[in-house]
Amino acid sequence: MTSQYKLYSYRWVVLAVFMLVNLTIQILWISYAPITGPAAKFYGVSDLQIGFLAMSFMIAFIPLSIPVSWVIDTYGFRIAVGIGVILMGIFGILRGLAGANYTLVLWITFGLAASQPFLLNAWTKVPANWFAIEERATAVGIVTLGNLIGTALGMVLTPILMESMSIPSIQLVYGIIAALSAVLFIIFTRETPPTPPCPPGQEVRALMLDGLKHAFTVKPFWFALLVSFIGLGIFNGITTWIENIIRPRGFTPTDAGTLGALMIVGGVIGAVVIPAISDKQRKRQRFLYIALLGAIPGLIGLTYATTSTLLFASAFVMGFFLVSAMPIAMQYAAEVTNPTPEGTSNGLIQLFGQGAVVFVYIMEALKTSDGSFTPALLLAIGLLVLSTLFVNQMKDPQLQA
């Protein structure tokens, strides 16, 4: 029996290049957020219109997610993600060449946004093809890590680069990096190892349509979708409006970049540590509780802190706990909906999470006359409390040994 399945060290190469392209798309997504004010002046538009450049990724994700999941499950992640990274490289470079024309930048950004579902919806498919079941939440956590590092780099580097480069030049640099990462993915990735990474039964999944129907009959999966909707909505809302949130308290765009980076650093550590422990104990529910409840003190600090020390510490704590919930929720969804294909369950989780773009808009709409985001952040705290009630309905699946 043992000769029929085997773990290959090349799985780490595949995971690394997949992580790299996920890192790159996040730089492209978030690069305007820490410079919202200066970018609005450069393009001659409002803060909301600059925020829309980030929101466009979430808006495009909604109609594309399920068709892209079908492509992943039908043709494999190598072809599907390959399509995504080619789009990312082309539109990344074009955005750098668009100059100060906001309308052109916006349309090109929608082209970039179309590439994102091909990358995000394969988060559980790649580990399923290459990793043993006891490593998969860890592998998803590592991809999450790449995603977060990309967000952090976009947050920190953009304000620094703006001191010596124009906004279009910065975008061109990011576009070239995207094109190079796309080439590396195409060269080094493989769809499957020579033999399966797990015993028979752990790798078999239904066809997408049957799997989609099955997933929606699994009650705990609905609660996983709701938790993802809340968690990603809060994360995307804070990252999109990060400079606007702290601006009324006298903080600068550089502070916004530092704040975002520390939130991501916390998330990077949390996304590696907590899913790894979850894998080791083969438990999901208890770690979702820990993640969501642990994020609340950090979010309270982010809402009220007036000193940089408290603000940055709160961002780190919130990132550590909130971000760690995502890989665990994704792996939970893949396990509880078996035999639904991983690309389908992953795509639905990401779809609900990106659908939380409505929360990003609500945050801006709840802004007070003096620019404070406190009402929106208090709403986010309440939603985190609500999400723990959903986790209560998410019992651990019976995992195969």
Q: pLDDT by residue (tens digit) across 330-365?
A: 888 888 887 777 667 777 777 777 777 788 888 888
1 domain-assigned: no
Residue 103 pLDDT > 80, yes or no? yes
398 domain-assigned: no
Q: What is the mean pLDDT of the chain?
A: 86
Specify the pLDDT at position 345: 76
Note the pLDDT tens digit of each residue in 269-322.
888 888 888 888 878 889 999 999 999 999 999 999 889 999 999 999 999 999
347 domain-assigned: yes
Specify the pLDDT at position 201: 58
143 domain-assigned: yes
Global pTM reads 0.75
CATH, residue 155: 1.20.1250.20
Residue 401 pLDDT > 70, yes or no? no
300 domain-assigned: yes
Give the structural domain span for 73: 7-192+200-391
% of residues, the chain, pLDDT over 70: 94
Q: What is the mean pLDDT of residues 46-59?
A: 89
356 domain-assigned: yes
Q: What is the mean pLDDT of residues 45-65?
A: 89
Higher pLDDT residue, 202 or 108? 108
Note the pLDDT tens digit of each residue in 168-211.
999 999 999 999 999 999 999 998 887 777 666 555 454 556 67
Q: What is the mean pLDDT of residues 75-104?
A: 95
Q: What residue has token string 């590439």?
A: 115
Specify the pLDDT at position 199: 67
110 domain-assigned: yes
How many folded domains does the chain comprise? Answer: 1
Specify the pLDDT at position 104: 97
334 domain-assigned: yes
Specify the pLDDT at position 206: 46
